[in-house]
Amino acid sequence: MKTRADDFSGLTVAMITPFKEGKIDFDALQEQVEFQVAAGTTAVSPTGTTGESPTLTHEEQHEVIKKTVEFAAGRVKVLAGTGSNSTAEALSLSKYAESVGADALLVIGPYYNKPTQEGFYQHFKAIAQAVGVPICVYNVPGRTGKAIDADTIIRLAEFDNIAMVKDATGSMDSASRIIAATDLTVLSGDDSLTLPFMALGARGVVSVVGNFAPKDVVALCAAMNAGNLDEARALHQKLLPLSCGTLSLATNPIPVKKAMQLLGRDSGEMRLPMTELESAPTEKLRRLLVDYGLLAE
CA 286 to chain centre: 23
Choose, from 66, 77, 166, 258, the residue flagged as catalytic: 166
What's the CA dihedral at 120, 179, 199, 255 to 10 degrees?
-10
Task: Give the dihedral sign, CA 13/84/104/73.
Answer: negative
As a whole number of angstroms, the distance between CA 244 and CA 247 comes to 6
* Residues paired with residue 14 on neighbouring β-strands, in sequence order: 45
Q: Tell me 75's DSSP state.
A: S
* 138 carries an active-site annotation: yes
Residue 143 and residue 108 in contact, taking contact as beta carbons nearer than 8 Å = yes
DSSP notation for 1-38: ---TTGGG-EEEEE----EETTEE-HHHHHHHHHHHHH
* Residues paired with residue 207 on neighbouring β-strands, in sequence order: 13
The Cα diameter of the chain in Å comes to 53
As a whole number of angstroms, the distance between CA 210 and CA 23 comes to 24
* 258 carries an active-site annotation: no
Choose, from 138, 257, 258, 292, the residue flagged as catalytic: 138
Q: Tell me 253's DSSP state.
A: T
Nearest CA among 27, 47, 39, 26 for reference residue 76: 39
Q: Do the strands 19-20 and 23-24 form a parallel or antiparallel pair, or are they unpaired?
A: antiparallel
Residues known to be catalytic: 138, 166
